[in-house]
Structure 1
Amino acid sequence: MHRRTALGLLGGGMVATLSLPAFSWAQSTNEAAPEPAASEKRITIWRDPGCGCCDAYGRYLEQNGFTVTLVDDRDFAKRSVDVGVPQQGIGCHLSEIGGYYVSGLVPAEIIYRLLASRPAITGITLPGMPSNAPGMAAAKSGTLRTYAFGPDGISVYSDE
């Protein structure tokens, strides 16, 4: 069940398919997330060119079984808002996977749950660049709050 909340948070170019080296990041829960179907393991990430955390996040996703395509896009924030990410909830890049948009450095197990449960939302976002998120830290500490967004508004999707 999602809790409604207000977001008071942080605020097209070349395509490259990367095979990135492994990136280590500890799982945030002991709960095993369902493995997505092979066709749902392809993720496209629009990011600011040269963003180091986006490269690390791509490596992390590949380590967790995803096929990653990075697209350099200096206007990824505009693209994010255009697809429905709340302005105050924009993450450091925008991804598309399995018919959903994922904004920011969302942990793989949360993406797995999204794909398994298939809620009637447009996507999820982890706003800003939290220092304990995959791509920013070698290990998670503390809580990451992920929000759902879509036609019914904004709600807390995951708080872990």
Structure 2
Amino acid sequence: MPKTLPQTICLETSGIGIVFHSPWATSNIAQGEDFLTSSFTNPADVAELINSSKIAAFCTGSPGTWRLHLRTDPPDEAALVQAHFKVRLGVEVRDGILQIRDLYELMSWDAACDDEQVIRLTDGFYRVTAYTSPPESGILGDDQEIHLHLEAVPEPARLMHHGVPQLCD
């Protein structure tokens, strides 16, 4: 059963990125297709998808264990200023569903998504603000917290990414 916000999701990734989308945005990907290689490695192709708000994604710089704290309110400005890494994205939600995935899931596509990685949101456009700092160990992805604020907005975010947005360098 999809969850509502606020919510914390623990996401284990093998890849070096995290992807957010509603199922409508990936309905053209065939079961088992390697969408990562065919359509999500060329920076211009990725930028087009990201800037359209069909798919939101960012590079984490490392595989790992990520604690995603998802909320629908604006980010705390002080916390945002203190964060070492931050990125702003947009995503369009349809049918009330947003899926959160490991980037490498795009290598062998399966439209089914683990219930723990699905959240319920009202249909519409969202401005996504993601921010984080290195964990105490200093190792990216070592049980690292990422704060994600999904704010409803009346129209798609005006994004100008020129490739894969970076959350962690």
Q: TM-score normalized by structure 2?
A: 0.28
Higher relative contact order (CA 8 A, sep 6+): 2
Larger % of helix: which? 1
Larger % of strand: which? 2
Q: TM-score normalized by structure 1?
A: 0.29
